[in-house]
Amino acid sequence: MLSEGLGFTFGNSSRYYGYSVRLVRNAEQPDNNRLNPMERRPSFFRVAFFWWFFEEKSYDLDCYLYFCTRIEEQMSERNNIETKENEAVLSSSGGFTAFNFGNYHIRFKAPYSLEHYVDVVKWDDGYLVVLAKYSHNAEPEEEYIDLKPILAGLYIDSAAFLKPIKSVRVAYA
Amino acid sequence: MPDIKTIADKADIIVNGYAFTRKEDGIHVLNLNSPDKAVVFSADGEVLETTMDDIELSIASSYLQQNLKYMED
């Protein structure tokens, strides 16, 4: 910033005719309005406007950042439960056990104290042996799930549905 | 693919394309327009198993609450 009374000028003449910096006593401040918009000093009103704008929009900005984070979480969740060919995915949320395969997202009531599934021990044509973590036990316990009656209750042809499934994994393993 | 005609014939009531059938283990509901969407409610209206998403589930649940009186013997 130039100080009043003493300053440097970088006039066109000095640039084109080989002069270097000219030291000028009592140099005037350049007219702010005649400067390039990028070089102008921001006016009080401009600063005030931006201050008001960010104060006013800070909530929207927070919301935007929150939803960006949520979308990222949901994308990773979706990637996690996305099934590969011949592989089904088992998970639990909101008091339900979810079994995902292809376009089917089957949910059924889980035991009330279930925290999450740890591992799939065995998959035998609709019969699952899994290790599950319950809130009342520090160690994972074996749990047995038979999908056939569940599929029958939901009008799904169990033979056709189960035939392509070769393995099952836990979503957050 | 389930036999939709048989399910519709055996249903106790059909509301807006949803077939409600009372069985021993609860009330079975099938979306006849999209037969891969089904739900089983317990006798007191709790969801036991489903292939529906939460929005469709709330729709089927509200149909059940509104029409349960027509399913009683």
pLDDT tens profile A112-130: 899 999 999 999 999 999 9
Q: Do A154 and B49 touch (CB under 8 A)?
A: yes
Interface of A with B in 32-91 (CB under 8 A): none
What count of other Cβ atoms lies within 10 Å of the Cβ of residue A144? 10
- Written as tens digits, the pLDDT of chain B (73 aa) is 778 999 999 999 999 999 999 999 999 999 999 999 999 999 889 999 999 999 999 999 999 999 988 887 6
Give CA–CA dist B37/A133, Å, rounded: 30
The answer to whether B40 faces chain A, any CB pair under 8 Å, is yes
pLDDT of A22: 54
CB-based contact B51:B34 (threshold 8 Å): no
CB-based contact B22:B36 (threshold 8 Å): no
The answer to whether B47 faces chain A, any CB pair under 8 Å, is yes
Kind plus residue range of the DSSP H or E element containing A54: helix A44-81
Q: What is the DSSP letter of A165?
A: -
